[in-house]
Structure 1
Amino acid sequence: MKNTPTLRDVGEHGVIKEIVAAAPSSLNGDDAAVLLPMAPNSRTVATTDMLVEGHHFRLDWSSPFQVGMKAITQNYADIEAMGARPLGALMALGAPLDTPVSVVREIAEGIAKRTGDYNTELVGGDVTQAEKITVSVTAIGALGGDRQPLALSSARAGQKLVAHGRIGWSGAGWALLERFGRELPDPAVQPLVDFHCAPEIDPGRGVIARAAGATAMTDNSDGLMHDLMSIAKRSGVHINVFADAIAPDELLVRAGELLEHDPWDWVLAGGEDHTLLGTTMKDPPSGFRVIGEVTRRNGADYATVDGKPTPYSTGWESFPQGL
């Protein structure tokens, strides 16, 4: 059997060649990418996030292709959450020398697939040796027109709480992988695992929401209640979620049966769905649905479900206290 080339075999320039071949861009290849001019009266939006092997993904659970897609989704969701349009992405990749070149190429192919969904490209980056595979993406976007960005501090009492995307699927997928690995006892729940490995939202929904009158928005990266509390605290309001609007669907219920776990935990605190969560006085923007309401704050709770506190509100913390 022919040996698979590693990063040690091909060197830095060989790795870069593989990435550029898998995710080509006419803007990539110089000291820095020169992006096309934005529309008049536009502002630049930038964000960065990273995936670390063993912490955010495992290659016995996720394919490298899925890792690449996830790296773009989590960054572009942050661009969309401001009501902006992604323009391009930069990737910094760290990996051990014995990493097969095919793994890096597949990560780049996943990035190319997801940036392509947004009519954007991977426009540059860097590679280096590291103890674990680390994919760090910086996304750049454009905020057009004179409307304000969809800031966390812009929710107002009397607004509707709206959402676009799945809620709870990523958390359930992670729980299934943790218990069963890839050998699922019921293939019906495979979509939950696939969604955890490569979550998706429809491109352009943040721009649509801003144009339709939304004022505040975030994406569900750390857990539904955790992220809604961020809006409520920054805006000085109370957010009440309607239980029947976010009730676990059939797949989540089935996963709960397999794991003997309450599926509401994944819905309320799972995170990494990258669902867009916004507030608006108007009808839900195209692709969004009403899941709650914004009211004046009257009491200690910033966010409730059907007017009651929920035990599932901790969410994800990169640096949990007390550990």
Structure 2
Amino acid sequence: MTIADVGEFGLISKVTARMAMGPTCLLGPGDDGAVVAASDNRVVVSTDVLVEGRHFRRDWSSAEDVGHRAAAANLADIAAMGATPTALVVGLCAPPELPVSWAEGLADGLAAEAALAGASVVGGDTVASPTLTIAVTALGDLRGADPVTRAGAKPGDRVAVAGRLGWSAAGYTVLSRGFRSPRALVDAHRRPIVPYHCGPVAARQGATAMIDVSDGLVADLGHLVDASDVAIDLHRTDFEVPAQMADAATALGVDPYAWVFGGGEDHALVATFPPGSVLTPDWRVVGEVAAGHGVTIDGRPYTAGPGGWDHFR
């Protein structure tokens, strides 16, 4: 059965029937708009678009995988502001011949990833399109805290990371070479594991600046140093290369640190903290902030490859 067989409203009925509403959703799908609770009258908003052939391939990832990735890309941005995710709205642009089962799988993946972050899918829109495209907007609640922006890092702060780095990029390389293993790396590309809870925790621990690693660690830290007008130096020895990643890099002839420093889509969080702040075990210190400008590794510019992804280059 295709989307054309059930029509727009039939598709919406099938998809929304699969969505469970969390406590922050006061009114869910079915009306002209959803109603989502915002405890302190402020809402954090982020949006992202995934296009088939550029962000995902259906021969590499299931519909559920794509749903997880689409939700994670937005929910991580909310966490990187120090906020708690509350809701997602989704726009689906799809060819009429797309199977209904694929759209249902996408909905399941979106809902499952949202639930991991404590959020719900509360609405959206559908439209016919020759290119399968998914647009997601995430909402979040600061719960009385100040947002943690990219602009607050100061010389003397420590740089710390929560979450994994390089796993998704390694999985992408494995898939692009025609392989399906190591499975752990391929699965990391299909469904990132995001430390959502670490964002609000970092805000409470006094984080001065924060960003999620969506394009690549060096590139994303570049946005942070631009906003804060500081320099950041990373310590190569503070970054772990797991055995599976090291073995895959050897087999594929790749420097694994190119994945760690330049690979994105793991959606780890990287933040700066004042000297002496006590961090939870989820955070590991990997560098420091200094006066100046730019991102270096052991005092030298990163030259092993692109520092991250740029859609228009």
- Tell me which interval the TM-score lies in, with the shorter structure as reference length: over 0.9
- 1:315 correspondence with 2:313: no
The letter of the residue matching 2:154 is: R
- 1:271 correspondence with 2:264: yes
How many Å separate the matches in 2 of 1:247 and 1:200? 17
Label 1:155 to 1:313 Cα distance change in 2 as closer, same or farther (>3 A): farther
- 1:293 correspondence with 2:294: no
Q: Taking structure 2 as the reference length, what is the TM-score of the superposition? A: 0.94
Q: What are the Cα deviations for residues 216-273 of structure 1, in whole angstroms up to 9, with x where unaligned?
A: 0001111110111111121111101111111422121111112111111111111111
From 201, 204, 207, give the equivalent of 1:208.
Answer: 201
- 1:39 correspondence with 2:31: no
Residue 219 of structure 2 is matched in structure 1 by 226
From 144, 162, 165, give the equivalent of 1:164.
Answer: 162
Tell me the number of residue pairs that the alignment of Structure 1 and Structure 2 aligns. Answer: 305
Deviation at 1:22, TM superposition (A): 1.9
Please tell me whether the aligned partners of residues 93 and 133 of structure 2 are also in contact (alpha carbons under 8 angstroms): yes
Q: Secondary structure at the match of 1:152?
A: coil
How many Å separate the matches in 2 of 1:136 and 1:233? 28
The letter of the residue matching 2:39 is: A
The letter of the residue matching 2:272 is: T
Deviation at 1:181, TM superposition (A): 4.2
The letter of the residue matching 1:14 is: G
Residue 77 of structure 1 is matched in structure 2 by 76
The letter of the residue matching 2:102 is: V
Please tell me whether the aligned partners of residues 195 and 269 of structure 2 are also in contact (alpha carbons under 8 angstroms): no
Alignment of 1:126-145 (within 5 A): 126-145=125-144
Percent of paired sites with the same residue = 39
Please tell me whether the aligned partners of residues 45 and 143 of structure 1 are also in contact (alpha carbons under 8 angstroms): yes
What do you get for the CA RMSD once the two structures are aligned?
Answer: 1.3
Alignment of 1:22-33 (within 5 A): 22-25=18-21, 27-33=28-34
Label 1:123 to 1:201 Cα distance change in 2 as closer, same or farther (>3 A): same
How many Å separate the matches in 1 of 2:83 and 2:52? 29
Q: What are the Cα deviations for residues 113-157 of structure 1, in whole angstroms up to 9, with x where unaligned?
A: 111112221100000111121111000111122x43111111011
Please tell me whether the aligned partners of residues 168 and 268 of structure 1 are also in contact (alpha carbons under 8 angstroms): yes
How many Å separate the matches in 2 of 1:107 and 1:68? 5
Deviation at 1:196, TM superposition (A): 0.7
Please tell me whether the aligned partners of residues 50 and 136 of structure 1 are also in contact (alpha carbons under 8 angstroms): yes
The letter of the residue matching 1:9 is: D
Deviation at 1:283, TM superposition (A): 2.4
Residue 17 of structure 1 is matched in structure 2 by 13
Q: Which moved more, 1:46-55 or 1:113-122?
A: 113-122
Q: What are the Cα deviations for residues 99-118 of structure 1, in whole angstroms up to 9, with x where unaligned?
A: 10000000000011111112
Residue 178 of structure 1 is matched in structure 2 by 176
Residue 306 of structure 1 is matched in structure 2 by 298
Q: Taking structure 1 as the reference length, what is the TM-score of the superposition? A: 0.91
How many Å separate the matches in 2 of 1:285 and 1:119? 21
Q: Secondary structure at the match of 2:86?
A: strand
Label 1:158 to 1:71 Cα distance change in 2 as closer, same or farther (>3 A): same
Please tell me whether the aligned partners of residues 247 and 264 of structure 1 are also in contact (alpha carbons under 8 angstroms): no
How many Å separate the matches in 2 of 1:31 and 1:233? 40
- 1:199 correspondence with 2:192: yes
Deviation at 1:286, TM superposition (A): 4.7
From 239, 251, 254, give the equivalent of 1:258.
Answer: 251
Q: What are the Cα deviations for residues 281-313 of structure 1, in whole angstroms up to 9, with x where unaligned?
A: 11224521111111111xxx6111111111134
